[in-house]
Structure 1
Amino acid sequence: MVRKFNFIFLYLLLTLLLWFNMACNNSGQEPGVVALVNGSPIYLHQLEANYDFLHLEWGETLPPSVEHLQQEYGQILTNLILYKLVEQELAVRGLEVTDKELKAREEEVRQDYPPDEFEKILIEEYIDLNYWREQLRLRISWEKFIQEVLRPRVKIDFQEVQDYYQKNLSEFYLPERIKFLVFSSPDQGKIKKALISYKKKTEVEELRKKFPDMIIHEYFMRVDQLPMIWAGEIKKLKPGECSKIKNDKKSFYFLVVLKKEQASLLEPFQAYSIIEEKLIQEKIRRLFLEWVEDTLQKAEIKINVMLLKKKESDNVREEN
């Protein structure tokens, strides 16, 4: 989404450039229009829907101030303007999101829910289906813009990756890590039986079936991030060894160390894909910011001055 590319910077950039473009009042406009982006309207109901979605769980005892509302509406409007510009760019290139694409993506989402449950969940979350579809279309537009407009312009060569690796070695240091199992149950008798069975080489999946009420978790953690209650015992155990049965006052448990990995440094070939993706994302971010600045300079964007703070609107040239 747009926020991945430093939303605050974009908000300030767009706001600054809009002040130097033009603003408009309501005279002669279609009712409910809060902004025009190259003649294409953004409506008040879109602002309100986005604002309401952001504050579904708003629990403040006092209503927000006018200044706060203006600021939040301004940020939402910035987002909508950016999406509008992205959609227009896609349309020029013949890449706009089709109804067929939207329907296919919606069906993908619905497959994760039982029949008729998707609409029920939207209703429970107070989300209008049409609003959800509008947001889905924006998401698809954004993905297409990144993948089909910006990504083809990004090139990464081996030397760039090598230079990044040498300058950022600390990012590729892997501290000592341990993979281990935790068996726990409030029933001490079951824990004793599970420990005996495990020592007889019974597979973990078999133990899960044999003791369905027992909690059996596998962890793979850095040594310096181990919970204190387990750290001392785990560090003493060798791979394959089990701890004695312990009691943490909530349940009985024992630990099994599966594997210990020593601290190491990723080799360049191991880190290549990680670095490449990081460099790609950084170049896409830069290209996007350049595109925003260039597009805004050429765009005709008109904003309803009623949305602007008084001190800001004093610096804006209004259309009569």
Structure 2
Amino acid sequence: MIRQKIRFMRYGLYCFVCWTLIFLPLGCGLSDHGEGDPVIVIGSKHLSSDALKKEMEFIGGGVPVPVKHAKEIKTLLIEQIIDYYLIIEYGKQNNISISENEFQRSIKEIKKEYSEDAFRKVLLQGYVDPALWEHRLRNQLLVGKVIKQVLDKTASPSYEEIKIYFQKNKDKFRSPEMLRFRQIVCRSKKEAAKLRYRIRAGEDMGELAKKYSTAPESEANGVVGWVARGDLDETMENALFSMQIGKISPIIKTSFGYHLFEVMSRAPAGVKGLSEVMPEIESQLLRQKQGVFYQKWLEKLRSDFEVKVNQPMLSKLELS
């Protein structure tokens, strides 16, 4: 169970990086090594008990850890921290870096929600030294850049793979009965009756909708678009799905007002075509491939870089 959760967290590391970039001003800054003997060595990175505890608290967002889950959560956090610094080591070894322009763009993006004084106040409230905050930000950006470059190497799914997935999962691509309609919404039944008479006399419903309808789609000649059963007010749905194409409805009263409907076209329930769902399947299969590729890549990093864990010291480390 723990191994499964570790694999899940590994693939979620990129999301973690994005999350910490958003909330970085509230995080704690760390020195490079911390004081005391290292509990964990990851390539050139040495983490003391104090530094490691701060890392775990930062990732956990300061949320108290239930005692009964402390051991399991601690294991998950340690694995994530190791993966994080392995990625940084890989980036350094492969000359992947964050340019000053990239760094300043990220600073600007983070600061855009704050004035300069407000931003510094947030840092002070979180007891964060600006220099340490910038150091952490550079690392976060580096990790994100490395992960993107690695995932970009994943082979895209072939047409045959997409086709096989579609054939095996057709139920996922079933679409309900749908229809496309236009409407005119009036404030009074009398006004709706006058407009219905004019439509039946040959005037264009779209032009009348544009001129008289109170609904937001009036500018589009009253065309609402495609809807399925369950998308609409029950009264509207019952009326629309019982109508024939091209016919004008009687006046229908709802909480929105007095309606006149015209069903413009219908689509029966059924399975969507492969061409229609191909982008969706391709995206899903690519994410799956990236997940597998990413996990294998992380496993390889553990053989490429030294990873040492002082288990006696680690066992004494408690989460707050």
Query: Does TM, normalized by the shorter one, top 0.5?
Result: yes
Q: In 2, distance between residues paired with 1:51 and 1:223?
A: 43
2:54 is aligned to 45
Aligned twin of 1:293: 299
- Residues 24-51 of structure 1 show CA distances to partners (whole Å, capped at 9, x for unaligned) of xxxx972596633223145232322332
Name the residue aligned to 1:152. Answer: 153
Query: Distance between the aligned counterparts of 2:211 and 2:42, measured in 1?
Result: 60
- The 1:182–1:286 alpha-carbon spacing in structure 2 relative to 1, beyond 3 Å, is farther
1:246 is paired with a residue whose SS is: strand
Q: Offset of 1:278 from its aligned partner?
A: 2.1
**Structure 1 residues 138-149: aligned runs within 5 Å:** 140-149=141-150
Alpha-carbon offset, residue 285 of structure 1: 1.0
Equivalent residue letter for 2:295: L
1:57-72 mapped onto 2 (5 Å cutoff): 64-72=65-73
Report the Cα distance in structure 2 between the residues aligned to 1:192 and 1:136, rounded to whole angstroms.
65
Partner Cα distance (1:146, 1:204) in 2: 54
Paired amino acid for 2:103: L
* Equivalent residue number for residue 90 of structure 1: 91
Counterpart of 2:7 (choices 6, 9, 13) is: 9
SS of aligned partner of 1:152: coil
Residue identity matched to 2:58: A
Distance in 1 (alpha carbons) for counterparts of 2:190 and 2:83: 62
> Highest relative contact order (Cα 8 Å, sep 6+), 1 or 2?
1
CA shift, 1:92, in A, is 1.6
Question: 1:291, CA displacement in angstroms?
Answer: 1.5
Residue of structure 2 in register with 1:25 after alignment = none
Write the distance in 1 (CA, Å) between the matches of 2:181 and 2:140.
40
Deviation readout 1:61-109 (Å, 9 max, x if unpaired): xx75434344434433332322221222222221233443132134345
Cα distance in 1, alignment partners of residues 241 and 224 from structure 2: 16
Residue 41 of structure 2 contacts residue 307 of structure 2 at CA under 8 Å; is this kept in 1? yes
Matches within 5 A, 1:216-227: 221-223=227-229, 226=232
State the alpha-carbon separation in 2 of the partners of residues 133 and 262 from structure 1: 57
8 Å Cα contact 1:37-1:81 kept in structure 2? yes
- 1:286 deviates by 0.9
Aligned match of 2:14: none
Query: Which of 196, 208, 218 matches 1:201?
Result: 208
Q: Is the 1:179–1:259 contact (alpha carbons within 8 Å) kept by the matching residues of 2?
A: yes
Check the 8 A contact 1:194/1:207 in 2, yes or no: no
* 1:165-200: CA deviation from partner (whole Å, max 9, x where unpaired): 22222333322234568999xxx9479769978876
Which digits, 9 at most, give the CA deviation of each residue in 1:263-291, with x for residues without a partner? 34333333333222222221111111112
Correspondences of 1:271-290 after superposition (within 5 Å): 271-290=277-296
Q: Is the 8 A contact 2:44 2:89 kept in 1?
A: no
Distance 1:287 1:308 in 2: 32
Gaps of 5+ in 1: 1-5, 13-27, 56-62, 311-320
Question: In the alignment, what sits opposite 1:313?
Answer: none
Task: Determine if contact 2:7/2:295 at 8 Å carries over to the other structure.
Answer: no
Asked whether the equivalents of residues 40 and 307 of structure 2 are also in contact (C-alpha less than 8 Å), the reply is: yes
**Percent of counterpart pairs with the same letter?**
19
Three-state SS of the structure 2 residue aligned to 1:203 is: helix
Structure 2 CA distance for partners of 1:98 and 1:309, relative to 1, 3 Å:
same
Change (3 A) 1:284 1:174: same
Counterpart contact for 1:119–1:129, Cα < 8 Å:
no
Aligned residues: 272
Q: TM-score, normalised by structure 2?
A: 0.60
User: 2:129 & 2:244 partners in 1: Cα distance?
Assistant: 55
Aligned partner of 1:9: which letter? R
